[in-house]
Amino acid sequence: MGKLRWLFVVVVGVIVFALLVPMRQPITPEDAVRKVYETIENLPEGSGIMLAMDFDPQAKAELEPISLALLRHSLGRGHKVIGMTFWYTGNAFANDLFRKVGAEFPEKQWGRDYVYLGYQPGGMAQVITGLGENIPATFPQDYRNVSTAAMPIFQEVRSLKDVDYLIDLAAGQTPGGWILYAGDKYDVTMAVGCTAVSGPDMYVRLDAEQINGLVAGLRGAADYEALMQRPAMGTSGMFAQSLIHAMIILFVIVGNAFYFLSKWRKHQKR
């Protein structure tokens, strides 16, 4: 632990330095991120977009910038945005994000242009099937405890069949459920926003065209911000991420150098 303590101090030092002295780096957006951006960009104004906010504050660093970018883009393009979550612990956090972005668009109204429905227990299969039949019946009240039945947004987007684009912002395994019960069953075009760790799992879905785009990790957020030409949290974290990745690679090289050196010494002794 003694030597590791210094290692951790170096990690903290590098991160603090990179965040305090940011350096602009070129960002070339990935195709998978571009697909999400283009889908939202090319949908006719007033299309229904559902954001499943399936994460909690643990994944804040990665999924908050992705959520903010997607919300800003969708509302900016004049789409109807509906949010919900399967993660109870992220419920209040997701509502804060909707409220924060909603405040940036004073002309948009809660219940008419966007709404955050909150959490619903009962399991993914049952809740998504309910959404596929009738969204207000599945969520009789929104997060603010207001009846959804009379909300103008649900006159246009009544069920999943009326949703033009569904994006699952996930810190866990929820994309599988959404793809199975919403994407495949109701033929909703889907995309996934996830943590960098979950990213590799999603390439299978991308390849099978079960999702048309993927925004993974802080890099995904930075790519999306680059496409929107609106640098924010994702872009500002890229320098820190670059330095940390480089540092870990250096650690691996140094660790292996010592490993081979000790092996060589043992060999010499024999």
Which residues bind to another protein, rule: CB under 8 A?
4, 7-8, 11, 15, 25-28, 30, 56-61, 89, 92-93, 118, 120-123, 125-127, 129-130, 132-134, 137-138, 141, 143-145, 185, 196, 199-201, 203-204, 207, 217, 219, 222, 238, 241-249, 251-252, 254-256, 259-260
Q: Which segments within 102-184 are labelled E, that is strand?
A: 114-119, 165-170
Q: Which is nearer to another protein, 22 or 78 (CB)?
A: 22
CB of 199 to another protein, least distance (A): 8
Q: How far apart are alpha carbons 212 and 38 in whole angstroms? A: 10
Cβ proximity to another protein, 77 vs 242, nearer residue: 242
**Closest approach of Cβ 249 to another protein, in Å?**
5
Nearer to another protein, 43 or 69 (CB): 69
Q: Which is nearer to another protein, 74 or 212 (CB)?
A: 212
Does the CA dihedral 153-158-160-161 come out positive or negative? negative
Closest distance of CB 78 from another protein, Å = 27
Strand partners, 115: 82
Question: Is 167 in contact with 36 (CB distance < 8 Å)?
Answer: yes
Closest distance to another protein from the beta carbon of 44 (Å): 27
- Stretch (H or E) spanning 228: helix 217-228
Nearer to another protein, 42 or 145 (CB): 145
**What are the strands of the beta sheet with 213-216, ordered from one edge?**
114-119, 80-85, 48-54, 165-170, 190-194, 213-216
Rounded Cα distance, 228 and 8, in Å: 35
CA distance 228 to 215: 14
Nearer to another protein, 67 or 74 (CB): 67
Cα separation, 238 vs 196, in Å, equals 13
Nearest distance from C-beta of residue 181 to another protein, angstroms = 10
Q: Identify whether the C-beta of residue 120 lies closer than 8 Å to the C-beta of residue 174.
A: no
What is the spatial distance between Cα 241 and Cα 7, in angstroms, rounded to a whole number?
17
CB atoms < 10 A from the CB of 58, how many?
13
For another protein, give the closer residue by CB, 143 or 165.
143
Cβ atoms of 109 and 78 closer than 8 Å:
no
- Shortest Å, Cβ 155 to another protein: 19
In the complex, what is the shortest distance from the CB of residue 72 to another protein, in angstroms, rounded to a whole number?
A: 21
Contact of 164 with 49, CB cutoff 8 Å: yes
